[in-house]
Amino acid sequence: MPQISEQTEQLDYQTLDQEISGDRLFQQRKLLTSRLADIAFLTRAALDAASLPMEIFFVIPSSGDAMITYGTPGDPCDEDWVYVDRIISDIVGNIVGLSGLHGRELPCAGTGPLPAPV
């Protein structure tokens, strides 16, 4: 899953993170959890305005140093994914009152239709 960062292939996932203390991170996650529907709504609106028809999902981690992790079941081009990352970083940053959030790429895998037997 991404953690506001770069882009990955296949399933793209990011995590928004910034160097912050444990208690502050806990409070930010708590705030983001309460605003998860808003984050999804604002992201959808921004994606629609940018003509980026992709689905994004969000996860609030319970450990580690990420505030939020997000991904898409699709495989957008790198240019689009960088733009999506900026959109989500700005939305989350506005909610928690931080600027300069960044993400990092995370390895991930997903299931999909199995290829037809040969």
Q: What is the pLDDT of residues 29-75, one digit of tens each?
A: 999 999 999 999 999 999 999 999 999 999 999 888 889 999 988 88
CB 56 within 8 A of CB 91: no
Q: Examine the pLDDT at 11 and tell me if it is beyond 50.
A: no
Q: What average pLDDT does the structure give for the chain?
A: 81
* R_g (Cα) of the chain, nearest Å: 14
Alpha-carbon gap, residue 93 to 55, rounded angstroms: 21
Q: Examine the pLDDT at 13 and tell me if it is beyond 70.
A: no
Residue bearing tokens 């882009």:
7
Select 12-105's CATH number: 3.30.450, 3.30.200, 3.30.70, 1.10.8.
3.30.70
Which residue ranges make up each domain of the chain? 12-105
Identify the residue with better confidence: 6 or 27: 27
Summarised one tens digit per residue, pLDDT across range 73-106 is: 888 898 999 999 999 999 999 999 988 887 787 8
CA distances from 6 to 13, 86, 105, 111 (A): 9, 10, 5, 22
pLDDT band at 21 (very low <50, low <70, confident <90, very high): low
